[in-house]
């Protein structure tokens, strides 16, 4: 078993991934309370403990030669030597019959392993000579073995999540999550005086909020909804004079079965008064630096910052992966006098241009089938692409193809943070391009230098919005908010043509002495999955739902009887062919 | 304005209520990032700052004599001297017209107040001579003034919660909550190696779980539910080898409109492997001690511990308020040979006894109308009470009556913690006394010495359950759990006559190498409300719901159109008389 990231700081009850934690060092001396049955954890024993009488609790990993029990707890493995004495035969019999993953308590003495029997495990120099063993629970035959090299299907992992979580990788992921969040809290609360405020998750439905789960109340026809974020509450807290708010907020989004989305997820939600963009960016850079796992290379700050315009120009996307170059290049000039018909056509179109990606040694590494594959993804690829986003996708696909053929394009251990700023405040609506909609949300303030355009040329206004991008993934976004009721009303009513009465409590609040304020929300699950290199956010969530939003262990969501729905005054509209009778 | 609990540690961004926080002291030196527009907070200025050029941001508390602006932020008040120079008349005019609660930024210089003009405010020795003032937002006429002595109705406070939260008491409550929770996390995570794990809130409905909100999914007839606690998940995490779990868990309970309950609330949820009752109790005593506000008298440990039986005998209740004596006394012996008919009758009943409460100087303090009031609450009071719980209630009522008449019975600044243990594991069902139901929940393990009775005399089994009581309120409860599948199955199927297949995933988990484990959950809202002496848990929750479960600010829960419910395959069953058309 490989224990990822455990280090010497693993103590009786101490988490594995270590941080430079002054508090921890100071208060370790306070740790005199004996909470557990054990005297030590399995993974902490070392030659310095030789001669100690110890009590260990844990799981039988496996038996070896009827001589050894390899015993596991969260901190690692220990080798237990089964006494071979005649008078302890019953102990030997009991242990040798014990199925793996049974739970035992062992009392014994630490001793050095005989010469030549050491191994490279952290506890590889010692073993524990058992004096007594108590079987605390016998394990049945499991659906899969708890061994890192045993491949399990995703659905089997989910169905038996409590077994899947015993793997060293999942143990590491959950413990890293806990530690990272703790460091974030220390930074926000202790260093910068933020106030951790819990906001409701039973709230009012946003009209047209198609992605909001509804929760029927006991009053006929009235529903709560589970909010997608605490946006309104965080702004109200600024109006309330809380000054600096944060929360690890559970958020809800009903997106059906989009890949790698979860119906509930967690965001690090932050809001501050009397702050500008630079203040929020500085805060977040410090937050990442402070909470960053020590076993990774340190993060340097400030993070690079580019405008939305430049991101689109250079990378064809607003969340560029800056771990590699291969920028988009405008080569229109080269073809200024071209006779090639389709290039000429392109240049003659309004705003027409010719763009290219220069792939280093591309001719060498990309073969015929690769061209086909790129072509498949972008039918117009051959020589002509009208839009930058397609080129942005091609850039990423080229990187993948190169990596598949063994070329090192992106350093898998590199973490490239990037701020993207100066987004347009409004975009034309897809279904009606004469109408504008918010590029992010209607509470974002305009850039000060564009503020005057809000009343004349709103489509030209850039917003005080900022996205935090890590390795090509958006891991956070925020903005300086509109803090004047009149501006907010103008945006809602005149520009977005929305009914401002639906947000009357927010408008009233802005009119009641709202300070200038701004904030950000970081997607914790995504952030963690990138840090640990997990293929899915499900690997950093203890009990995630499947693609289809199911809990494969408990079978949620499940049928509820008509009777049980009565107090909520709702009935199920069964489709014509009733597939199930409840 | 009275600022409760602010102290010198209030810094630029520092929370008010201070703790002995080593981390905070160490990292204060790291605080060199200028995040805010301000250079100082209003409340931190002292004579040592005289001569400093400062920038303050905050709210206009009031104007005085057209000379001074009293300015407020979260940290306190500062007096701003408006320059009276001719060339700054426009500044004076702007300020003097400014409604209270408008938001301003002031630049100026700190100076000592002239002799005789000092006051007892923390900043009462200095003032700031304004050089420039920027009006950041003008405040409309508010529904109530932000002054502590202004009484507001509960519904007005809830409707304008963002104004209500500006009061010094609510600022204190929310900041205390944040700090207390932070200390709890430090203790659990950094001192004792607990892992903070988030568990799902979209889960499977417990059959018959009448208090669980349902959440329709996009699959016809299938619902998630919002769990009342993470009970199953915390036990599964123990099976998963997490060893020590904690979470500040949002829980949901649909109790209609019970007084001082909230549909969503927060519990400090804890679970440990390889632990016994004493271990959990020691952990929690340390937790309370570590997180206890420094401005209160320290808490001494261990907490006293009494059995359920003794609590009922002495106090007539399983959560006794031990701040005062007036214990129940059995005086049957005295009336052994009584000729008084009704006493004789009482003693002749099976298990009959005569109990009394001795009220010190009761005859002096309790008047005729008090007797009537006690009589009102307990019609049988005059001389005869068949049940202990009624006497328990009478004991509390007598305490209240005595306090109303000016007798000091309970010290309002005293905090009496108490463990109550050895509860019965099962109780007869109210509707069918031949049937047993769990006194707490079906996962509680029996006391080891009673374990053998589980299969013979289950009604005699005492459980390894413990309640934490503070000043007569239950603020927490927990137990050592059943960790063997066979015992759990026996309890569910044979004793409780429940269908064990509904918990098959838990039974399977217990059979897959479940360690011995136990835990506890503390009701954070209740605990905090007692610490701050609030009359309701609503005073320690940022955005609580009303008695009827309404958010009076946003009007949640609200009507949702038929169309918006379609994707959830539900329709509203309107009552016959349609009060509202949606």
Asked whether the predicted pLDDT for residue A487 surpasses 50, the reply is yes
CB A92 within 8 A of CB A83: yes
Chain A closest CA to B408's CA: distance in Å?
36
DSSP state of B82: P
Q: What is the mean pLDDT of residues A131-144?
A: 94
Predicted local distance difference test score (pLDDT) of residue B531: 98
Question: How much is the pLDDT for A363?
Answer: 79
The single-letter DSSP state of residue A445 is: P
Verify that B332 and B435 share a domain, yes or no: no
- Residues B281 and B178 occupy one common structural domain: yes
- Does residue B295 sit in the same domain as residue B434? yes
Tens digits of residue pLDDT in A357-383: 888 887 788 777 777 777 654 444 444
Instruction: Calculate the CA dihedral of residues B390, B391, B397, B398 and round it to 10 degrees.
Output: 160
ipTM for the assembly: 0.92
Dihedrals phi, psi of A507, to nearest 5 degrees = -65, -40
Q: What is the pLDDT of residue B378?
A: 46
Looking at the fold, whether B526 and B439 belong to one and the same domain comes out as yes
> What integer pLDDT is reported at residue B513 of this predicted model?
97
Reported in sequence order, the residue ranges of B374-444 that DSSP labels E, i.e. its strands, are: 417-421, 426-428, 436-438
Question: Per-residue pLDDT for B332 more than 90?
Answer: no
As a whole number, mean pLDDT of residues B570-578 equals 82
pLDDT class for B555, splitting at 50, 70, 90? very high
> Predicted confidence band at B352 (pLDDT cuts at 50, 70, 90)?
confident
Q: Can you tell me the mean pLDDT for B164-193? A: 97
Whether residue B127 has pLDDT greater than 80: yes
pLDDT band at B29 (very low <50, low <70, confident <90, very high): very low
Stretch A144-166: mean pLDDT:
90
Q: Is residue A121 part of a domain?
A: yes
Helix axis angle for B524-532 and B168-185, nearest 10°, is: 130
- Do B399 and B433 sit in the same domain of this protein? no
- Residue B494: band (very low, low, confident or very high) from pLDDT cuts 50, 70, 90: very high
Within this chain, do residues B364 and B465 fall inside the same structural domain, yes or no? no
Q: Does the pLDDT at position B9 exceed 70? A: no
pLDDT of residue A6: 32
Interface test with B, best of A100, A134, A178, A509 (most B CBs within 10 A): A178
- Could you tell me how far CA A415 lies from the centroid of its own chain? 14
> Are residues A237 and B264, on separate chains, in Cβ contact within 8 Å?
no
CATH number where B485 lies: 3.30.930.10
Looking at residue A390, what is its pLDDT? 86
Residue A457 Cα, gap to closest chain B Cα (Å): 24
Which chain A residues are closer than 8 Å to B511 by Cβ? 139-140
Q: Among residues B58, B25, B23, which one has the least CA distance to residue B39?
A: B58
Could you tell me if B191 and A31 are in contact, meaning their C-beta atoms sit under 8 angstroms apart?
A: yes
pLDDT in tens, B467-490: 999 999 999 999 999 999 999 999
Shortest distance between the Cα of A537 and any Cα of chain B, in A, equals 14
Whether A237 maps to a domain, the answer reads no
Q: Is the dihedral of CA A331, A334, A339, A345 positive or negative?
A: positive
pLDDT of residue A370: 76
Q: Which residues of B touch A282 (CB under 8 A)?
A: 33-35
Interchain proximity A202–B252, CB inside 8 Å: yes
- Which tokens hold the place of B178? 């944040």
Q: What is the pLDDT, as a whole number, of residue A485?
A: 97
CB–CB contact B572 A193 (8 Å): no
8 A C-beta contact, residue A324 and residue A358: no
Q: Cα distance from A186 to chain B (closest Cα, Å)?
A: 8
Instruction: Please tell me whether residues B293 and B331 are part of one structural domain.
Output: no
Residues B298 and B180 in one domain: yes
**Final residue before a domain boundary, out of A381, A404, A427:** A404
DSSP string, B261-288: --SEEEEEEEEEESB-HHHHHHHHHHHH
Per-residue pLDDT of B195-231, as tens digits, reads 999 999 999 987 777 799 999 999 999 999 999 999 9
Q: Which residue has the higher pLDDT, B299 or B386?
A: B299
Distance from the Cα of A172 to chain B's closest Cα (Å) equals 10
Average pLDDT rounded to a whole number, residues A349-359: 84
Q: How far apart are CA B543 and CA B177, in angstroms?
A: 14
Digit-coded pLDDT (tens) for A12-35: 444 444 433 444 444 443 444 568
Strands A244-252 and A195-196: what pairing?
A: parallel
Give the closest of A21, A275, A510 to B190, CB-based.
A21
Among A187-191, A241-245, B366-370, which is the least confidently predicted range? B366-370
What average pLDDT score do residues B64-79 get?
Answer: 94
**Which residue in the block uniquely carries the two structure tokens 């047993």?**
B436
Interface contact flag, A199 B543, Cβ < 8 Å: yes
Domain boundary among A339, A374, A404: A404
Give me the percent of chain B exceeding a pLDDT of 90.
71
Among B500, B503, B497, residue whose Cα is nearest residue B436: B497
Asked if B188 and B112 sit in the same domain, the reply is: no
Residue A337, number of CB atoms within 10 A of its CB = 7
% of chain B at pLDDT higher than 70: 91
- Is residue B301 in some structural domain? yes
Residues of chain A positioned with their CB less than 8 A from the CB of B137: 483-484, 510, 513-516
Which pLDDT score, from 0 to 100, does residue B496 have? 94
User: β-pairing, B465-470 with B417-421?
Assistant: antiparallel
Q: What is the pLDDT of residue A580?
A: 54
Higher pLDDT, B55 or A387: B55
- pLDDT above 70 (res B11): no
Nearest to A570 by CA among B367, B355, B560, B484: B560
Contacts of B105 in chain A (CB under 8 A): 274
Residues of chain A contacting residue B249, judged by C-beta atoms under 8 Å apart:
none
Size of interface A-B (CB pairs under 8 A): 438
**Whether residues B180 and B225 fall in one domain:** yes
* pLDDT score of A257: 64
The mean pLDDT of chain B is 89
| Residue spans of alpha helices (H) in A423-496 | 485-489
**Counted domains in chain A:** 2
Per-residue model confidence (pLDDT) at position B220? 95
Long-range contacts of A352-359 (CB under 8 A, 24+ apart): A354/A330, A355/A328, A355/A329, A355/A330, A355/A331, A355/A385, A355/A388, A355/A391, A356/A328, A356/A329, A356/A331, A357/A326, A357/A327, A357/A328, A357/A329, A357/A391, A357/A394, A357/A395, A357/A398, A358/A326, A358/A329, A359/A326, A359/A398, A359/A402
Residue B194 has pLDDT above 70, yes or no: yes
Q: Does residue B559 register a pLDDT over 90?
A: yes
Question: Would you place residue A384 in the very low, low, confident or very high pLDDT band (cuts 50, 70, 90)?
Answer: very low
Percentage, residues of chain A above pLDDT 90 = 71
We report the CATH number of the domain holding residue A124 as 2.40.50.140
Domain of A386, in residue numbers: 324-404
Dump pLDDT digits (tens) for A73-96: 999 999 999 988 888 888 888 888
Task: Clarify whether residues B295 and B423 are in a common domain.
Answer: yes
Return the residue in B60, B161, B178 with the most chain A beta carbons within 10 A, the one to mutate for interface testing.
B178
Q: Which of A82, A106, A141 is the last residue of a domain?
A: A141
Statement: residue B581 has pLDDT above 60: no
> Considering only CA atoms, which of A175, A16, A41 is closest in space to residue A110?
A41
d(CA B339, CA A402): 104
Length of chain A: 582
Please state, as a whole number, how many other Cβ atoms lie within 10 Å of the Cβ of residue A508. Answer: 19
The arithmetic mean of pLDDT across residues B72-94, rounded, is 91
User: Pick from B31, B185, B560: which is nearest to A223 by CB?
Assistant: B560
Greatest Cα-to-Cα distance within chain B, rounded to the nearest angstrom: 98
Over residues A569-579, the pLDDT tens digits come to: 999 999 876 55
Residue pair A466/A481 in contact by the 8 Å Cβ criterion: no
- Best residue of B3, B25, B35, B55 to probe chain A, by most A CBs closer than 10 Å: B35
Question: Which token pair is B218?
Answer: 């996009």
pLDDT tens digit string along A414-432? 999 999 999 999 999 988 9
Chain B residues whose beta carbon lies within 8 Å of the beta carbon of residue A481: none
Same domain for B440 and B360: no
| Residue A110 in domain | yes
CA distance A151 to A149: 6
SS3 content of chain B, % helix, strand, coil (to 5): 30, 25, 45
Q: What is the pLDDT of residues A534-571, one digit of tens each?
A: 999 999 999 999 988 999 999 999 999 999 999 999 99
Q: Which residue of A has its CA nearest to B142?
A: A512
Q: Residue B420: pLDDT band by 50, 70, 90 thresholds?
A: very high
Say if A198 falls within a structural domain. no
Cα angle for residues A258, A261, A266 (degrees, 5° grid) = 155
In a domain, B194, yes or no: yes
The answer to whether residue A97 is domain-embedded is yes
Which of B198, B282, B567 lies closest to A33 in CB terms?
Answer: B282
* pLDDT (mean) for B246-264: 89
Residue A299, pLDDT score: 95
C-alpha closest to that of A517 among A269, A183, A243: A243
**pLDDT value, residue A375:** 62
Q: Which tens digit of pLDDT belongs to each residue from A301-311? A: 999 999 999 99
Chain B CB contacts of A198 below 8 Å: 250, 266, 541-542
pLDDT band, very low/low/confident/very high, at A39 (cuts 50, 70, 90): very high
Does residue B558 form part of some domain? no
């Amino acid at each position: 078993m490989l224990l990822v990231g455990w280090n010497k700081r693993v103590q009786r009850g101490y988490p594995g991934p270590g941080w430079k934690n002054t508090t921890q060092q100071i208060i370790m001396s306070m740790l005199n309370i004996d909470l557990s049955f054990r005297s030590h954890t399995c993974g902490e024993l070392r030659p310095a403990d030789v001669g100690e009488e110890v009590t260990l609790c844990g799981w039988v990993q496996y038996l070896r030669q009827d001589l050894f029990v390899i015993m596991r707890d969260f901190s690692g493995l220990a080798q237990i030597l089964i006494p071979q004495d005649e008078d302890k035969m019953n102990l030997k019999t009991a242990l040798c019959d014990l199925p793996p993953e049974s739970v035992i308590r062992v009392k014994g003495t630490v001793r050095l392993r005989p010469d030549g029997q050491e191994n490279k495990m952290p506890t590889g120099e010692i073993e524990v000579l058992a004096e007594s063993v108590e079987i605390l629970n016998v394990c049945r035959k499991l659906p899969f073995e708890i061994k890192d090299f045993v491949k399990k299907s995703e659905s089997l992992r989910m169905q038996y999540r409590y077994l899947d979580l015993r793997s060293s990788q999942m143990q590491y992921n959950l413990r890293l999550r806990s530690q990272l969040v703790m460091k974030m809290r220390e930074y926000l609360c202790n260093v910068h005086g933020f106030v951790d405020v819990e906001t409701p998750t039973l709230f009012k439905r946003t009209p047209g909020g198609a992605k909001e789960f509804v929760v029927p109340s006991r009053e006929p026809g009235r529903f709560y909804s589970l909010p997608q974020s605490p946006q309104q509450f965080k702004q109200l807290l600024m109006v309330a004079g809380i000054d600096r708010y944060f929360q690890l907020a559970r958020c809800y989004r009903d997106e059906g079965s989009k890949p790698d989305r979860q119906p509930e997820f967690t965001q690090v939600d932050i809001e501050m008064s009397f702050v500008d963009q630079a203040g929020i960016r500085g805060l977040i850079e410090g937050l990442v630096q402070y909470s960053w796992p020590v076993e990774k290379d340190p993060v340097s700050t400030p993070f690079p910052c580019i405008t939305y315009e430049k991101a689109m120009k250079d990378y064809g996307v607003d969340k560029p992966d800056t771990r590699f170059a291969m920028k988009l290049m405008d080569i229109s000039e080269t073809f200024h006098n071209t006779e090639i018909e389709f290039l000429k056509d392109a240049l003659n179109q309004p705003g027409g241009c010719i763009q290219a990606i220069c792939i280093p040694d591309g001719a060498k590494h990309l073969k015929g089938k690769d061209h086909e594959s790129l072509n498949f993804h972008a039918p117009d690829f051959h020589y002509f692409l009208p839009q930058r986003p397609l080129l942005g996708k091609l850039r990423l696909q080229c990187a993948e193809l190169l990596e598949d053929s063994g070329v090192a394009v992106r350093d898998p251990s590199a973490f490239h943070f990037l701020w993207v700023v100066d987004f347009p405040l409004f975009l034309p609506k897809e279904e009606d391009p004469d109408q504008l909609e918010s590029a992010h949300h209607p509470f974002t303030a305009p850039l000060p230098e564009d503020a005057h355009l809000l009343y004349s040329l709103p489509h030209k206004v850039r917003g005080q919005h900022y996205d935090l991008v890590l390795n090509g993934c958006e891991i956070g976004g925020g903005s300086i908010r509109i803090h004047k009721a009149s501006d907010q009303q103008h945006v809602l009513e005149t520009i977005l043509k929305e009914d401002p009465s639906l947000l009357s409590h927010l408008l009233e609040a802005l009119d009641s002495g709202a300070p200038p304020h701004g904030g950000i929300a970081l997607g914790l699950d995504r952030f963690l999955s990138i840090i640990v290199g997990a293929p899915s956010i499900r690997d950093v969530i203890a009990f995630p739902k499947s693609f289809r939003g199911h809990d494969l262990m408990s079978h949620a969501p499940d049928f509820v009887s008509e009777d049980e729905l009565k107090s909520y005054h709702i009935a199920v509209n069964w489709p014509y062919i009733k597939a199930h009778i409840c």
